[in-house]
Amino acid sequence: GKLSINFAARFAKRPRLEIGHHTDIAHDCRLVVGKEVKIGAHVEIAGAVTIRDSGGHPADPARRAAGAPPDEADVKPIVVHDNVWIGSHVLILPGSDIGEGSIVSAHSVVSGVVAPYTVVAGNPARRIGTLTPPPERAHLAPVAKSPAVAKPDIAPAPSTDGAATAG
């Protein structure tokens, strides 16, 4: 299959793409590197994934209409740590940091930090599960979310004998 890698030397004299050993990048993937993209070792990237450290255009409509490049502040490095699995058709946006051992579900949009050993899905990507790291990496285990305390949305039902109930 085809893999597209575009380097935009406008933001860095030598944009840097680093790919770790035993990493697999499937067909139809696209990497856009304005400053820096780091992909760790033993990473599995499924087909049609896009990783870009730059949006390619400025956010300001007038600058965009004038054909100006994106603001340098909007070009942010991306890090995909070791042993990550990225599902098909995922979009990874500038400044994203995907933690070790994580899974990004197909068709997700990642913008920001994904904690190590976490499963994320959706647009925007949100945590839907956690994974158990190997014993030697236990210090990277995700912190469990505390369960939300349910608050009743309605008043208590009246008693069957017509007496008021204490609340």
pLDDT tens digits, residue range 99-140? Answer: 999 999 999 999 999 999 999 999 999 999 999 999 999 999
Q: Which two tokens mark 120?
A: 């994320």
pLDDT of residue 130: 96
- What is the pLDDT, as a whole number, of residue 165? 47
pLDDT < 50 positions in the chain: 149-157, 159, 164-167
Q: What was the pLDDT predicted at 12?
A: 77
pLDDT at 52: 96
Position 69 scores a pLDDT of: 84
Per-residue pLDDT, 155: 46
d(C-alpha 37, C-alpha 34), whole Å:
8
pLDDT of residue 70: 85
Active site residues: 57
| Confidence at residue 152, expressed as pLDDT on a 0 to 100 scale | 47
Token pair 């600058």 in the structure block, residue: 63
Instruction: Note if the pTM is more than 0.85.
Output: no
β-strand pairing of 103-104 with 109-110: unpaired
